[in-house]
Chains A and B, each alone.
Chain A
């Protein structure tokens, strides 16, 4: 057996956290960051670590939980995806002023592309705005090393440090040696100091001055200085009499990894200086001056925004996104980098087969997914409604025409309320509004929105798609589970009770698999929004996710067959879109893919010709 183990970038970060004896880690799941905390949970069980790890209800809460641990002098971490930092931006800005005692690492995974996100936002700008140092790893192995550097920096300057991997780091795998874990004791000690931890504006100004001093000093730290990656090859080439030109490339993150490989392929690794910027912010003033003194042209390659580039402040010499040398949107794939590098160095463009212009397969809800049944019912009950929806697997309700808006976590409820006011204030009768939100998303950001909608007198139907898990990101638990990740029993939080406590008077729970009854219930809910003394109606569509093997299956699969009444109208395929229902060709009867069909039997109610039935 090899001593090398293949670790996912997110696993490598988790190993890094444990290597550094992190004592508290809090996270909310989100692609591409989800596997960090799940790996930590596995390591905790395996090695009986002194670590509190939790899936918090949202990123803001996760940040605050972890921060307090760092206030007591213990090492802590908070992990999230980039849009999660929007939610946690409030504590982030303030924590930069208060600083920390124990090491505090904020892992924020960005998603250039975007592959699984609403935006391509660059979290390094948050670091800059908050005046916090940020590290940008170029590989899974380096991400793990950077955790240690981040903790040391954090403790030396009593400052939170951001580690910013991107999707291509988080979801890359690489072979590396595993560490042995040897924890050290960290006694919690919260030193009361209201001038710091509870600072009023007067003290805040002092803290701001201190923060400025910290960030100035951090920029001078030699180990975080940009590194000339090909120092050796350049020196050897110089000894052979080859002088390198007056151009150079600055790169960070996975783009550095692409650039290094491309320069090697072009046989230019020993002639074009390539700098790795491991800490894009703060960039040392000395380095900036030296760079601009030494080179005539500097190409900056980074994702996803010009964070390094904007700090260089010389538009004559510096080429990048601000002068359109680098595209302003989209992932910097290696082929994109190659094109930019070739142009920068006046090389002929690469010969390449362009990718085919085919749409490929769109993702779809799984066969037997309870969300599909709920969406079909919503379309039946409210055919001409506005359908605000939210973030999760059920965003794929788009395919069924049952999703009109997807903005951010929890926005289905805020938007539903806003649509109601817009139509009512416009003096027109409002169309039905049928909003959908997942259970985990409801807990995350839906509760204040629901409370607000109730007290503002709005009327709409809210369907909570409750599959009792956070499905999209890999089945993390929700507060309704009644169990901590360590298996301790805690109170189960009821969505129905929360909705009632928010002042909703129509709250019903039903199984979307029982389609006719579910449609009837939705119609009743619709009536409540029109009644003189009615209001918001909440319907909880409760049925566990089929892919979550930890949940009980309270459904006997039925044997579904297509009878000779099938008129090949493809209604079921277009409007129900179950992957198990397949059309073998035009004017051919629909077939059932036995390997995919789960026997939920919802489709029996879908066919207008009664051609789908339960056998026997």
Chain B
């Protein structure tokens, strides 16, 4: 199972990114449990989503009980992630890194959208999205960048299919931003 924190400020599309990841997981036959921020905080305040993703429902997800029966292995029941338990933090806003880093476990990975993108897991996603005339798509740039690292439960190719299927008026813009995130990841990897 994987525990993911997606953080940002209201209006950045934290809920959208969370839903894409959750849909990708369900398509792979995994259970998901999510907690979202709604209400007043959505007006520009700090917004955070908690996402828990189970293992695919194959043989490996079944546990042998003492009675020789096989029952689904218990994975999670709480919609919230405890501090120090998250595998991945996606910070769509630089603030999110400071406000939500304590959710990460010591070996966890944080991917952040920051202007000063020195760290190998940081990217100025807003600048990349602005160059595409779509500054609101910075969320997808960062998502693609994080997926390219291989640290998340699903691949960039799989996510691209989910994104394609999600459709909508912004699809072309979203796909452009997603591809730009993937190229940015390749750039970063170059020595």
Q: Interface of A with B (CB < 8 Å)?
A: 1-2, 4-6, 8, 31-32, 115-116, 138-139, 168, 171-175, 232, 236, 239-240, 254, 257-258, 260-262, 264, 269, 333-335, 338, 351-356, 358, 360-366, 393, 395-396, 472-473, 579, 595
Q: Is the CB of B65 within 8 A of A236?
A: yes
* A232-B65, A261-B77, A366-B44 as given contacts; A472 in contact with B26, CB under 8 Å: no
Residue of A1, A32, A257, A365 ringed by the most chain B CB atoms within 10 A: A257
- 8 CB contacts below 8 A, A to B, read A31-B39, A115-B39, A115-B41, A254-B79, A258-B77, A334-B82, A356-B101, A595-B136
Residue of B9, B35, B40, B74 ringed by the most chain A CB atoms within 10 A: B40
Tell me the complex Cα distance, A393–B44, Å.
12
Expressed in whole angstroms, the minimum distance between the Cβ of A335 and any Cβ of chain B is 5
Q: Give the residues in chain A near B101, CB-CB below 8 Å.
A: 356
* A6-B26, A175-B32 as given contacts; A334 in contact with B78, CB under 8 Å: yes
Q: Give the residues in chain B near A261, CB-CB below 8 Å.
A: 76-78
Q: Give the residues in chain B near A366, CB-CB below 8 Å.
A: 43-44
Contact of A363 among B10, B31, B95, B130 (CB under 8 A): B10
Tell me the complex Cα distance, A40–B148, Å.
39
Expressed in whole angstroms, the minimum distance between the Cβ of B168 and any Cβ of chain A is 14
Q: Interface of B with A (CB < 8 Å)?
A: 9-10, 19, 22-23, 26-27, 29, 31-46, 65-67, 74, 76-84, 95, 98-99, 101-102, 130, 135-136
Q: Give the residues in chain B near A254, CB-CB below 8 Å.
A: 78-79
Q: Is the CB of A168 within 8 A of B83?
A: no
Expressed in whole angstroms, the minimum distance between the Cβ of B100 and any Cβ of chain A is 8
Tell me the complex Cα distance, A260–B79, Å.
12
Tell me the complex Cα distance, A264–B75, Å.
9
Q: Is the CB of A363 within 8 A of B44?
A: yes
Expressed in whole angstroms, the minimum distance between the Cβ of B112 and any Cβ of chain A is 15
Q: Is the CB of B80 within 8 A of A363?
A: no
Contact of B43 among A4, A173, A363 (CB under 8 A): A363
* A1-B27, A269-B74 as given contacts; A333 in contact with B80, CB under 8 Å: yes
Q: Is the CB of B44 within 8 A of A356?
A: no
Expressed in whole angstroms, the minimum distance between the Cβ of B28 and any Cβ of chain A is 8
Expressed in whole angstroms, the minimum distance between the Cβ of B56 and any Cβ of chain A is 11
Contact of B77 among A2, A31, A260 (CB under 8 A): A260
Known: A139-B77, A261-B78, A362-B44. 14 other contacts (CB 8 A): A31-B40, A115-B41, A138-B77, A168-B35, A174-B79, A260-B78, A262-B78, A334-B78, A351-B84, A356-B99, A362-B45, A363-B41, A363-B42, A366-B44
Tell me the complex Cα distance, A473–B43, Å.
11
Tell me the complex Cα distance, A532–B115, Å.
61
Q: Is the CB of A173 within 8 A of B36?
A: yes
Tell me the complex Cα distance, A473–B40, Å.
8
Q: Give the residues in chain A near B44, CB-CB below 8 Å.
A: 361-364, 366, 579
Q: Is the CB of B29 within 8 A of A171?
A: no
Contact of B66 among A5, A175, A236, A579 (CB under 8 A): A236
* A173-B34, A595-B136 as given contacts; A358 in contact with B84, CB under 8 Å: no
Expressed in whole angstroms, the minimum distance between the Cβ of A392 and any Cβ of chain B is 10
Tell me the complex Cα distance, A393–B80, Å.
27
Expressed in whole angstroms, the minimum distance between the Cβ of A336 and any Cβ of chain B is 10
* A31-B39, A171-B37, A261-B77 as given contacts; A360 in contact with B32, CB under 8 Å: no
* A363-B43, A363-B44, A366-B43 as given contacts; A171 in contact with B38, CB under 8 Å: yes
Q: Give the residues in chain B near A138, CB-CB below 8 Å.
A: 77
Q: Is the CB of A361 within 8 A of B102?
A: no
Q: Give the residues in chain A near B26, CB-CB below 8 Å.
A: 2, 4-6, 175
Q: Give the residues in chain B near A2, CB-CB below 8 Å.
A: 26-27, 29
* A361-B44, A364-B44, A396-B43 as given contacts; A6 in contact with B32, CB under 8 Å: yes
Tell me the complex Cα distance, A362–B99, Å.
13
Q: Give the residues in chain A near B78, CB-CB below 8 Å.
A: 254, 257-258, 260-262, 334
Q: Is the CB of B82 within 8 A of A257?
A: no
Q: Is the CB of A168 within 8 A of B80?
A: yes
Q: Is the CB of A335 within 8 A of B83?
A: yes
Q: Is the CB of A172 within 8 A of B43?
A: no
Contact of B22 among A116, A173, A239 (CB under 8 A): A173
Q: Is the CB of A472 within 8 A of B39?
A: yes
Q: Is the CB of B34 within 8 A of A172?
A: yes
Contact of B82 among A174, A240, A260, A335 (CB under 8 A): A335
Expressed in whole angstroms, the minimum distance between the Cβ of A600 and any Cβ of chain B is 16
Q: Is the CB of B79 within 8 A of A264?
A: no
Residue of A334, A356, A396 ringed by the most chain B CB atoms within 10 A: A334
Q: Give the residues in chain A near B79, CB-CB below 8 Å.
A: 139, 168, 172, 174, 254, 257
Q: Is the CB of A172 within 8 A of B38?
A: no
Q: Give the residues in chain A near B36, CB-CB below 8 Å.
A: 8, 171-173
Q: Is the CB of A352 within 8 A of B83?
A: yes
Q: Is the CB of A31 within 8 A of B38?
A: yes
Tell me the complex Cα distance, A362–B46, Å.
7
Contact of B40 among A171, A173, A260, A396 (CB under 8 A): A396
Q: Give the residues in chain B near A168, CB-CB below 8 Å.
A: 35, 79-80
Closest Cβ neighbor of B30 among chain A residues: A175
Q: Is the CB of B102 within 8 A of A355?
A: yes
Q: Is the CB of B46 within 8 A of A173?
A: no
Q: Give the residues in chain B near A579, CB-CB below 8 Å.
A: 44
Q: Is the CB of B98 within 8 A of A358?
A: yes
Tell me the complex Cα distance, A45–B27, Å.
27
Q: Is the CB of A172 within 8 A of B33?
A: yes
Q: Is the CB of B74 within 8 A of A264?
A: yes
Q: Is the CB of A361 within 8 A of B65?
A: no
Q: Give the residues in chain A near B98, CB-CB below 8 Å.
A: 356, 358
Expressed in whole angstroms, the minimum distance between the Cβ of B107 and any Cβ of chain A is 13
Q: Give the residues in chain B near A358, CB-CB below 8 Å.
A: 98-99
Tell me the complex Cα distance, A240–B70, Å.
18
